Amino acid sequence: MAGRDSELVWSSDDGDLRKEPKRDKGRKKPKRGAEPAPGPAPAGSTIKVKRETAGRKGKTATTVSEIPLPEAETKALAKRLKQHCGVGGTARGSSIELQGDHRDKVVAFLEKEGFPAVRAGG
């Protein structure tokens, strides 16, 4: 294996590192999870709660979208929602997906937490 680069190519924390541009050695890498401080939620920002089956082989999922929170807080909210509903799920960007149809529980929980939420779709 002589002659091969020993540069890290993939990490379970950061994923594929080959896509990142080469950094100057003098520059520091920003801290992981460091995001700008969240401002107040924009006026009229309402969280949408939908029931979806598309792309899930017929399985029903509750999707919570348009969440006006940074990603770290969205993940924390997803954890509390999953515990409240007793189901699995995930946080992806500014949306949360829960397994099963839990629209009524989710809307009630979000309003109790102080977020304006509505049922969207059919």
| Structure confidence by residue, pLDDT tens digits, 52-80 | 888 878 888 999 988 888 888 889 999 99
Predicted pLDDT of residue 115: 86
Task: Please state which CATH number belongs to domain 47-119.
Answer: 3.30.780.10
CA–CA dist 85, 109 (Å, integer): 9
Domain residue limits, the chain: 47-119
Does pLDDT of 104 surpass 80? yes
**To 10 degrees, what angle do helices 71-85 and 103-112 make?**
120
